[in-house]
Amino acid sequence: MMLLGATTLTAQDAAIPQAAVSFNLPPNSPLSVSGFTMADSRATARGAALALDLHMPLTLRNDSGKRIHGVTLRVVSQEVTLGGKGSVTYPSLNVGPGETFPVRIDMQLMRPSQITGGPLVQVDLDGVLFQDLSFFGPDRLNSKRTLTACEMEAQRDREHFKRVLAATGPNGLQNEMFESMARQGAVSQLVVSVKRTGRAVTSAATANSERTAEFAFLQFPDSPIEPMKGSAQISGNEAHAPRIEVRNKSGKPVKYVEMGWIVSDPSGKQYMAGSLPSADADLVLPPGKTARLLQETTLNFSAKGQPVNVQKMVGFVNQVEFEDGKIWVPNRQNLDNAVLLKVLPPSAEEQRLTDIYRKRGLQGLISELNKY
Amino acid sequence: MRHPSQEILALHAGGDLGWLERWKTARHLSGCDVCRDEVSAYQEVREVLPELNQMPEVPWNRLAAEMRANIRLGLAAGECVRPGDQIQESPLFSGARAVVAFAGVFAMLLAAAVLERPVPVHASEPMVQATDTGIQRRSGDRAFGLMHPGAQAQDVTYTVGAQGTVGARYVDSETGAITMTKVYVE
């Protein structure tokens, strides 16, 4: 069923049948696919290459007895030599037992047209997070941590907006929405490409000699992790081999640390460059001990089509997972920082709530907040 | 109607034809939808695979001119050291020297012709990056992308993991659900 005939794909422009996609949900899955179509998915010959545009609207059903708050699907190209792997995560859900909800997966594959046959895409369930923070799934992509962190941020931000509503009324909540939307509009985003090793791409800016740039750090008083020192190798608009030494100042063992990474260009303009997670899957950082986060990757920065040369770097603790699975994320006071307000995008939940405000107005937003 | 070869169309799409061939191809394209579509397809592939545009800048014409000049210089130097009586006996070239000289010029012209033609260089090392419509992992002539159609560029938040991931977060315009896609370099 998974196999897609070569004859179908070698056509100049052909529809892609449903059989090109395989859904793998375990037998005891709390989710089931109650419907999906391939919509206007097409395979198009482009010279010597074949472009495959897959559009898959899905309807998923909560077959469990608990409310679902997040889902991650793993999407893998079935062509072994391609090695394409991705995930689609739906956080901030609130789906009751027996309820269905719509999601979409939109993909694009490009491959030589002379390759014949073979399945296209496999979609697996990687994880489901429930309201009580229990989790189901193989978790091959660390979905448990991602979904739990999103849920912690969602709870934090909903509580914040509820407090604003209680303290200042609908007008105060409306002003808060205006401020959030203004911040979201003002954040400048970098275009970053990532390569596992070596240089990302060549550019004139990389002709400069390489230098070591040190991280400065924003310290959060309640963070369980203290960044000590760190650096990255900088060459023009490329940064590689970032490394940061951190100390566990909490009383519990830590198994995952993620640092936020801000860069500024020679004019002083700051951008959120990315995050630097701990690389060691078996990391256990006991209380009081230090560890080094390092990644042998190269990041290449540009904005509006122009290279952004890295002048300075700032790091901050973005996420911590303790050995017992509990997650720490910065609180709203931590984020109320002049540097972070300019560069840090809002959480997924804040983005969702402002979208509700835009589409359904103040009453729609208040109604949404009251569901929790 | 006789169509240009795929090779000619591909070179035309990249602006890599000589002026005469370019003019002939453009004239054909003005009346041929099939070939025009082919050229568009090649141009799209070039956009999808920007490594093609990142070939090192090699001044082939200058290189060829320098090669020609060096050969002429060598020939002129040979003439200078030739004994006078031989020059009088052979005002142009002796047979063997002429063969060697013409073979050298022919080899130079052949090399210049080959070097003028761009050879696509495919980056085989996988790279993940955000595009206008999604996140894409590229490796040579293959690509794998998770797209966010319908989302306005300013409403998409990109995240980069130094371990080798790029993510996008947006509110799906059809479902209203926050959607986070992530593509892995490995």
Residues A131 and A181 placed together within one structural domain of the fold: no
Instruction: Kindly determine whether residue A86 and residue B144, on different chains, have CB atoms separated by under 8 Å.
Output: yes
**pLDDT confidence of residue A295:** 83
* pLDDT (average), residues A180-197: 84
Contact A317, A257 (CB under 8 A): yes
Query: Where a domain ends, among A124, A141, A158?
Result: A141
Same domain, A167 and A247: no
Q: How far apart are the first and last CA of chain B?
A: 47
What is residue B81's predicted lDDT score, i.e. its pLDDT? 60
SS3 string, A221-251, reads: CCCCEEEEEEEEEEECCEEEEEEEEEEECCC
Q: Which residues pair with A301 in a beta bridge?
A: A192
Shared domain check, A179 and A70:
no
Q: How many residues does chain A have?
A: 372
Q: Which residue has the higher pLDDT, A79 or B7?
A: B7
Contacts of B37 in chain A (CB under 8 A): none
Q: Under an 8 A CB cutoff, do A47 and B42 touch?
A: yes
Tell me the pLDDT of chain B averaged across its residues: 73
Residue A106 gets the label, from left (phi > 0), alpha (psi -120 to 50) or beta, of beta
| Predicted local confidence at residue B21, as pLDDT | 85
How many domains are there within chain A? Answer: 3
Beta carbons of B146 and A88 less than 8 Å apart: yes
Rg (CA), chain A: 23
Nearest to A260 by CA among A205, A340, A202: A340
Q: Report percent pLDDT > 70 for chain A.
A: 90
pLDDT greater at residue B14 or residue A322: A322
> Using one digit for the tens of pLDDT, what is the confidence trace for A264-281?
999 999 998 888 888 777
The conformational region for residue A215 under phi > 0 = left, psi -120 to 50 = alpha, else beta, is beta
Nearest-CA distance A362 → chain B (Å) = 17
For residues A1 and B99, the model is more confident at B99
Mutate to test the interface with B, among A79, A108, A180, A202 (most CBs of B within 10 A): A108
pTM exceeding the 0.80 threshold for the entire prediction: no
Longest dimension (CA), chain B: 94
Q: Give the model's pLDDT for residue A110.
A: 79
> Which of A46, A91, A355 is the closest to B180 by Cβ?
A91
Whichever domain contains A19, its CATH number is 2.60.40
Range in A28-42, A197-211, B28-42 the model is least confident about? A197-211
Other CB atoms closer than 10 Å to residue A62's CB: what's the count? 22
Cβ-Cβ contacts under 8 Å, A90 against chain B: 177-180
Q: Examine residue A217 and state whether it is found in any structural domain, yes or no.
A: yes
pLDDT at A8 over 60: no
A56: pLDDT strictly greater than 80: yes
* Segment B37-84, tens digit of pLDDT: 888 877 776 655 444 444 444 556 666 767 777 777 677 766 666 555
pLDDT tens digits, B101-140: 777 777 777 766 555 444 444 456 778 888 878 888 887 7
Pairing of strands A21-24, A121-130: parallel
Q: What is the mean pLDDT of chain A?
A: 87
Which tokens belong to A143?
């979905």
Q: Based on the domain organization, do A99 and A158 belong to the same domain?
A: no
pLDDT (tens digit per residue) in A226-279: 999 999 999 989 998 899 999 999 999 999 999 999 999 999 999 988 888 887
Which has the higher per-residue pLDDT, A56 or B111?
A56
Q: Give the up-direction half-sphere exposure of residue B19: CA atoms within 13 A in the CB hemisphere.
A: 0
A35 to chain B, any CB pair closer than 8 A? The answer is no
How far is B162 from A275, CA to CA, in rounded Å? 6
| Residue A197 scores a pLDDT above 80 | no
pLDDT band per the 50, 70, 90 thresholds, residue B162: confident
Angle between helix B19-29 and helix B6-13 axes, rounded to 10 deg = 100
Q: Are residues A319 and A196 in the same domain?
A: yes
At residue B51, the pLDDT reads: 41
If you average pLDDT over residues A46-54, what whole number do you get?
79
Which range of residues forms the domain containing residue A166? 150-185+350-369
Q: Tell me the β-bridge partners of A32.
A: A61
Distances (CA, A) of B62 to B65, B113, B116: 5, 13, 11
The Cα–Cα gap between A160 and A149 comes to: 16
- pLDDT digits 0-9 by tens, A83-136: 688 999 999 999 999 999 999 999 888 777 655 555 678 899 999 999 999 999
Residue B152 pLDDT level (bands cut at 50, 70, 90):
confident
Residue B24 φ/ψ, nearest 5 degrees: -65, -40
In a domain, residue A323? The reply is: yes
Q: Which residues of A touch B34 (CB under 8 A)?
A: none
Is residue A1 situated within a structural domain? no
- Would the pLDDT of A73 be above 90? yes
Res B74: pLDDT:
73
- Same domain as A76, residue A201: no
Nearest of B149, B152, B182, B171 to residue A350 by alpha carbon? B171
Q: Do A279 and B163 touch (CB under 8 A)?
A: yes
Query: What pLDDT, on a 0 to 100 scale, did the predictor assign at position A4?
Result: 46
What sign results for the dihedral spanned by CA atoms A115, A118, A119, A121?
negative
A46 and B42 within 8 Å at the Cβ level: the answer is yes
Q: What's the Cα-to-Cα distance from A121 to each of A19, A125, B130, rounded to whole Å? A: 10, 13, 21
A299 found inside a domain:
yes
Q: What CA–CA distance (Å, rounded) separates B87 from B82? A: 7
Global ipTM = 0.86
Domain definitions of chain B by residue range: 6-54, 60-116, 127-184
Q: Indicate yes or no: CB of A46 within 8 angstroms of CB of B45.
A: yes
In CATH, what number is assigned to the domain containing residue A194? 2.60.370
In contact, A217 and A327? CB cutoff 8 Å: no
Nearest to A315 by CA among A330, A300, A297: A330
Closest approach of B111 to chain A, Cα-based (Å): 27
Q: Do A49 and B141 touch (CB under 8 A)?
A: yes
Residue A339 contacts residue A262 (beta carbons within 8 Å): yes
**Residue A356 banded pLDDT, cuts 50, 70, 90:** very high
What's the farthest any 2 CA atoms get from each other in chain A?
Answer: 65
- Tell me the backbone φ, ψ of residue A153, rounded to 5 degrees: -65, -40
pLDDT score, position B60: 62
